[in-house]
Structure 1
């Protein structure tokens, strides 16, 4: 693997891969944090809306009790005297009306009532007949206003005449309480104990109403998160549904920003890596070309030894090697010249020696011939010597014999002398 490839792999290992891992981890971590923060924020939002709803409906309920009690106490005349003031004094109230058993219907402010409208058969009247408590109807369209509304109703007996009191709330004001949203896909809605929709920020017929085990929490369904908070004061539950893509969009945008930043860093890293790779590979390539020249026998190359990095150190070592190689080759050349000169001298000497050897060989041949002649003469001399030796041996034997005879003569002389001495 070339250095360029190794450096590229190194850059990918130490920059790109960690950045990708950091981006993925950042997205996952941020997404988890966003989910947790979203749940906390939405539940806080629902809690605020719950308190606003209680604050909105509590006076209306108290007003309903107050009006029904006064109707029973003061009769129907009290109604005609006070209904206009009530509507003007309570912004939460849109209409206040009474229906009697005989079908009489009195409404304030005065409105045109459809001919086919039978208040006694309306949803608010039918529900109020079933209990002595105040009822709150689910959402419905008021026939004489053609507008969606909720009605608080309660039965009463005034001057021995049974009737039902109804108060239509200001639906837009009620809807405005839950209109505060944090996400584009967020839909807030309130349901009663029978899962009837009371109010919603969107006209949507497909509302998710799960079975609830806690007073508050979040439920994940398909591609949405549904947050809820119970309102036990009215036996209602307020929901907030948010598309998961809407929640993920923020961390996704942040992750994209991180990815963009990572991409910029990667591009810068690639640019810098190209610069650094060139700063490394270019000197190496130049060094390689010079080494090829050396391989071809050209020692007249100069290495750049100005840098203090590893490549500079290698260049210095190669420069030193070239200098030493030049010195060595100079010495070898000088030695070769000396050897050549010595060889010539040796050749001359060899020729002379060869000539001398030839002379010696000639003389040797003469000596050989003389030796052959000397050998014949030597044989004759040897024969004479043998004869002389034999003669000498004979002389020696004669001498030995003469010596023995002399000893005997001497012995005889000594004995004669001794005899003479004895005579004397």
Structure 2
């Protein structure tokens, strides 16, 4: 019943139009959400690529810092290395992925830092040996040789004095060559230092045969002990320095592996981007096309339904208007009855009922009018007869009047005659 009324049809059409356009808008919003999710995924991939590039840059800086550190062993270079490694760790903390490559990268970075810390510890040990032992032993050795030389001069042992001076020069040369080796860590500089130690041993061996007093022998023994300690500490320093080489080599191998893993991760991200990009474009184009199609369908259906609504209202109204015009012209036979159940149909049916009642009333009036006409005709005839009778009566009255006048004249004549009599 609701849909048979104009209001119901209008409401239904509006509801259908709203549903169609709502579906188009909803699909458009849904497409935008899906597109935004895809764009977010693509952005995440771009961020991951940027993060990998940032990690590569920090790792490159760390590798340069390592290279400088194993040359200069300065605190600033050490700090730069640790800062870059810390930045890499922070980048991994922001990494949401738990892929095998990322896990391996994290473990490699931690191992790389641990190896660097081992180098730092070995360098600290080396510096401690140089400052706390090597330098002190060298100073004590030089002081002992100087005292030994003075005693030799007192004992007038010129040969010992000569070799003592030569030993002092050799010790100074050992210190100089050692410092060169500590900086260069080259095998050649190390061999030069060892050669100088051998030369010093030769000098001591020669001086051993020229000892003429117990004081010289005692000082020589002390000097020989310092030389042995001096050489032993140098060997320890050499071992400390050379123990860094396999660590540095291991770090170099690890550097290559880390760079390979970063490159693999970058390549994987690039493949994902290359795959996701065209997919996003295709999905976006499809969503746009479907949205346009739904909008066009909604628009066309809306136009059709509006046209249907207009025609469903105007057509019966036009017919109703024409019938009313006929009715206005006096055609009481017009049938207003309608099969429609809407407001126009209800109004037409009401007017149809009214016209039927009006026709009945007109029929009754017509019957009464015919009766009045018949009565009027009879009354007219009776009136005519009455008028005729009145005319006859008038004629007779005129005759009577004339007779009366004549009688009155006769009476008057009689009276006059009587008077005369």
Q: Where is the helix percentage greater, Structure 1 or Structure 2? A: 2
Where relative contact order (Cα < 8 A, 6+ residues apart) is larger, the structure is: 2
For the criterion TM > 0.5, the same-fold answer is no
Q: Where is the strand percentage greater, Structure 1 or Structure 2? A: 1
